[in-house]
Structure 1
Amino acid sequence: MRKRTDWVIGAVAGAVLAAAGITAAVASDSSGSSGSDGSAESARTPSNTSADAGFARDMSVHHQQAVEMSYVVRDRTENEEIRRLAYDIAQTQANQRGMMLGWLDLWELPKVSPGDPMEWMDMAGAPSPGDGSLMPGMATNAEMRRLGELNGKQAEIFYLKLMTAHHKGGIHMAEGCVERCAVPVEKRLAQGMVESQESEVELMADLLRARGAKP
């Protein structure tokens, strides 16, 4: 097996590149046009309690666990199909996390929520957080420990089930941003998350069935 550091280096490098590339796009979306008073629309910079800021903060936390979960299963199985899926999820979500943290820096907003997670959106229809879970879809500390204790097919099945729930919670949150966020580039990122994670949920259902497990 490749060492975990190979994955970490790749994820960090991708996140740095993604974060470096977002400043111009977000600045253009947030303040590139003129308002009715002739000034740049700097007033469109999201507030600390806005959906834009809330989504960037909460999804960054949500993504971080998906990256960690993928690193764990990568070391618990030799199956290349699962390792490839885990690698793709880790790379994608590390890059997106870098973008969202970059936006918070650009907006000069704190990366820690001033209130409870997901206060910025209506929780109606959201998957219920598990006991000890910070947000819908997130694994508990006990589940993360168990994943780190399993091997082979058992680890693969548990990872797929955890990540399916994780994606469903993330999809609900991303749909909330599509409805509530004001910065166009962030809304586009959220819509892309919905589409890619729905596709991965379908793939993981197939992988679970192939292992004799129910989605």
Structure 2
Amino acid sequence: MKFAICQELFEGWDWNRQCELIAEIGYTGIEAAPFTLASSIYELEPERRIELRQQAESHGLTIIGLHWLLAKTEGLYLTSPDASVRAATRDYVIALGDACADLGGDLMVFGSPAQRNLLDGVSREEAMGHAADVFAGALPRLAERGVSLCMEPLTTNETDFIRTCAEAVELIERVESSTGAENFLLHQDVKAMVGQETDPVPELVQRHANRLGHFHVNDTNLLGPGMG
């Protein structure tokens, strides 16, 4: 198991300086936010991906994966009723998967609340279908690259679509039943579970253990365990 940190904390820092500090304070992994690496994942050249990976590894670190996948993008939306928008979103998720694998990672966390909220006139069930369409189109390529996609439930304060573990599993099972994909998993976040769920966190972890692909332990104030 890798003990990783989400590195957008250090946005604007030189990458090598980030790696140096992350290793110094005891982490063994980096979970990268794509927007800190390039304005678009299409602009992160293969050579630069290799360089980032090698610099991390020189400090004993693994880039475990990516999160905040659609943050600071334009024209992308998971639950859009527009098929062309969903196709662009699918293609971007695929490109993110390629970058993730090139960087040495094997997972991506789909949070991106601003790109998944229900749009006017779109019902929850319709949004489920639109999201399933995007993910079903992307997951085969991700599987080829050895990358899993982990759906992150978020609180009502952040989104109105997929707010509980049960809702995330509903979407996962929907995609799984239509595609047979085994690389669409659940992401659990302590902050989100405490802020949204009615059941205790340990119970939620046990209930969904067979679907769990990744876990964030930050408290509700976004600091470390026991700090908030």
State the TM-score bracket (shorter-chain normalisation): under 0.3
Query: Higher helix fraction: Structure 1 or Structure 2?
Result: 1
TM-score with structure 1 setting the length: 0.27
Query: Higher strand fraction: Structure 1 or Structure 2?
Result: 2
Structure number with greater Rg is: 1
